[in-house]
């Protein structure tokens, strides 16, 4: 006996509601006009919101009723990312994104993806990454030591340079020799192009070889980064010294047939980790500083905790379990401004019935957005308020799982989560024990969604030094003051 079909396709459109959209262009114009606001408005239409892609895409894909489904319920999120994850794979990405990341672990699928994760998981395991504590605190300390009382800093830039130097050491076991600004500029151009291609169906169809100024700018910049990576791979191959870094790990790795990885495969993994591993953390830190500067009482409590636990010494991974309030601040900042504001869309292989009751036809595209989930008043009352108490142990227990997913979930959960958390917490602890940062101008800072969620303008902050930075005291002075 065959089981009855789960779904009456003809009725699907009438069962799931969504906002009014353009018949021809579907949700693209709305998404482009106000991506973040549009997603929040979708909360009003139920647990699963159907967003038709419009006639143009339907004709192009030859797929009638092509639609994106936005998920607002944590049980559905769990179902797609974990319980029934084998039914889904990442949807197609715009050409510029494929060009940047290639077949690195962020974009690969199936057995290749499993093999890549198996290779990286031990390296990024929680215990293993604590070995990088010293690197993180000393790099953060060096950065803050260059600041002086009353100085104005562009905190986004500062955090990006800081996290770039840290990830560079993780990848290559050496300091960044090239011009960091060159790399950052190329990344920013790439970010803008990715966003444009996600927002505009036409832009996503325009191949990169068409010599538009934006394509040329992007290709020029990325060529510079690629050249640097390739040079580092070749140098290490010529002088095969083993180091505890990602490049050594990749050079020792074997593919499915037992052959070493080729240059292209190694380049893809390095580029993936370089981008996934510093832009996200830099934005998380930038948002956290901005939020802290707005909330005096939170900053005061943090400083007390840092004084109690650390006194005058620099933090270490072993201190983190006792820096509980710091962790609550970090979590709340990732809730309000999740750097990965949207997961990659997922495409369904077979029809699927979600726990909320909605039925997704084969070929459906699913949109899961941490930004949207984290600001749902059902799970986070008064969602725009910055309130670290939401992450006290007691408060966490009252919320269903999968309402908070800054690092994704399931088989594609962020590989660098432990490292990102270690880095974020140690940078905050190192700097907040020495200085205080205040927003320099009264400008409103709005989140802008690109490859990551970043502030729409540079965030200028003024440095207020709390303690003189420890330049080692000459021995005769310390004995004199002791007596």
Q: Which residues make up the interface to ligand HEM (CB under 6 A)? A: 105-106, 117, 272-273, 276-277, 280-281, 284, 339-340, 343-344, 406-408, 412, 414-416, 419-420
Q: 49 forms bridges with which residues in the sheet?
A: 70
Cβ burial of 238 (10 Å; 0-12, 13-18, 19+) is exposed
Which residue from 267, 289, 403 is spatially nearest to 335, judged by alpha carbons?
A: 403
The packing angle between helices 324-336 and 417-432, to 10°, is: 110
Q: In this chain, which residue has its C-beta nearest to ligand HEM? A: 416
Judged by beta carbon, residue 390 or residue 412, the one nearer ligand HEM is 412
Judged by beta carbon, residue 53 or residue 164, the one nearer ligand HEM is 164
As a whole number of angstroms, the distance between CA 60 and CA 222 comes to 30
> What is the nearest approach in angstroms of ligand HEM to the Cβ of residue 411?
7
As a whole number of angstroms, the distance between CA 21 and CA 58 comes to 14
> What is the nearest approach in angstroms of ligand HEM to the Cβ of residue 382?
23
Residue 397 DSSP SS3 = helix
Judged by beta carbon, residue 219 or residue 275, the one nearer ligand HEM is 275
Q: 22 forms bridges with which residues in the sheet?
A: 26
Q: Which residue has the tokens 């894909």?
A: 61
Evaluated on CA atoms 90, 92, 93, 99, the torsion sign reads positive
Tokens of 316: 């270490």
> What is the nearest approach in angstroms of ligand HEM to the Cβ of residue 349?
17
> What is the nearest approach in angstroms of ligand HEM to the Cβ of residue 241?
22
As a whole number of angstroms, the distance between CA 361 and CA 365 comes to 9
Judged by beta carbon, residue 7 or residue 347, the one nearer ligand HEM is 347
> What is the nearest approach in angstroms of ligand HEM to the Cβ of residue 313?
25
CB < 8 Å & 24+ apart, contacts of 52-57? 52/18, 52/21, 52/26, 52/27, 53/26, 53/27, 53/28, 54/21, 54/22, 54/23, 54/24, 54/25, 54/26, 54/27, 54/28, 55/23, 55/24, 55/26, 56/24, 56/25, 56/26, 56/201, 57/26, 57/201
Judged by beta carbon, residue 13 or residue 92, the one nearer ligand HEM is 92
Judged by beta carbon, residue 221 or residue 406, the one nearer ligand HEM is 406
Judged by beta carbon, residue 138 or residue 478, the one nearer ligand HEM is 138
């Amino acid at each position: 006996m065959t089981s009855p079909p789960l779904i009456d396709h003809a009725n699907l459109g009438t069962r799931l509601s969504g906002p009014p959209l353009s018949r021809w262009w579907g949700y693209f114009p709305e998404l482009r006009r106000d991506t973040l606001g549009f997603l929040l408005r979708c909360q009003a239409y139920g647990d699963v919101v159907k967003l038709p892609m419009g006639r143009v895409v339907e004709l192009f894909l030859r797929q009638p009723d092509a639609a994106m489904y936005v998920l607002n319920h944590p049980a559905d999120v769990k179902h797609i990312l974990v319980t029934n994850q084998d039914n889904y794979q990442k949807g197609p990405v715009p050409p510029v994104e494929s060009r940047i990341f290639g077949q690195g672990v962020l974009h690969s699928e199936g057995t290749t993806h499993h093999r890549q994760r198996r290779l990286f998981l031990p390296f990024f395991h929680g215990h293993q990454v604590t070995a990088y504590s010293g690197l993180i605190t000393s790099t953060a300390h060096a950065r803050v030591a260059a600041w002086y009382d009353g100085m104005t800093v562009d905190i986004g830039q500062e955090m990006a340079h800081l996290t770039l130097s840290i990830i560079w050491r993780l990848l290559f076991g050496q300091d960044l020799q090239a011009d960091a600004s060159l790399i950052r500029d190329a990344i920013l151009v790439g970010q803008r192009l990715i966003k444009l291609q996600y927002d505009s169906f036409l832009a996503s169809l325009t191949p990169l070889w068409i010599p538009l100024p934006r394509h040329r700018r992007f290709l020029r910049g990325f060529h510079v980064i690629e050249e640097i990576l390739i040079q580092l791979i070749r140098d290490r191959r010529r002088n095969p010294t083993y180091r505890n870094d990602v490049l050594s790990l990749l050079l020792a790795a074997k593919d499915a047939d037992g052959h070493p990885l080729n240059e292209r495969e190694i380049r893809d993994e390095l580029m993936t980790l370089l981008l996934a591993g510093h832009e996200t953390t830099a934005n998380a830190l930038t948002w956290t500083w901005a939020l802290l500067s707005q909330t005096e009482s939170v900053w005061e409590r943090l400083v007390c905790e840092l004084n109690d636990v650390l006194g005058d010494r620099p933090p270490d991974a072993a201190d983190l379990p006792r820096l509980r309030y710091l962790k609550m601040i970090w979590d709340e900042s990732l809730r309000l401004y999740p750097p990965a504001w949207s997961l990659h869309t997922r495409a369904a292989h077979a029809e699927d019935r979600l726990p909320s009751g909605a039925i997704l036809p084969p070929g459906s595209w699913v949109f899961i957005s941490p930004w949207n989930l984290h600001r749902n008043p059902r799970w986070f009352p008064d969602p725009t308020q910055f309130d670290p108490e939401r992450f006290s142990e007691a408060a966490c227990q009252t919320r269903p799982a999968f309402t908070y997913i800054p690092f994704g979930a399931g088989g594609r959960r962020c590989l660098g989560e432990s490292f990102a958390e270690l880095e974020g917490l140690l940078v905050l602890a190192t700097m907040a024990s020495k200085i205080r940062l205040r927003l320099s101008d009264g400008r409103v800072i709005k989140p802008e969604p690109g490859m990551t969620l970043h502030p729409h303008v540079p965030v200028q902050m003024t440095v207020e030094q709390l303690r003189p930075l420890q330049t080692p005291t000459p021995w005769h002075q310390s004995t004199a003051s002791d007596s």
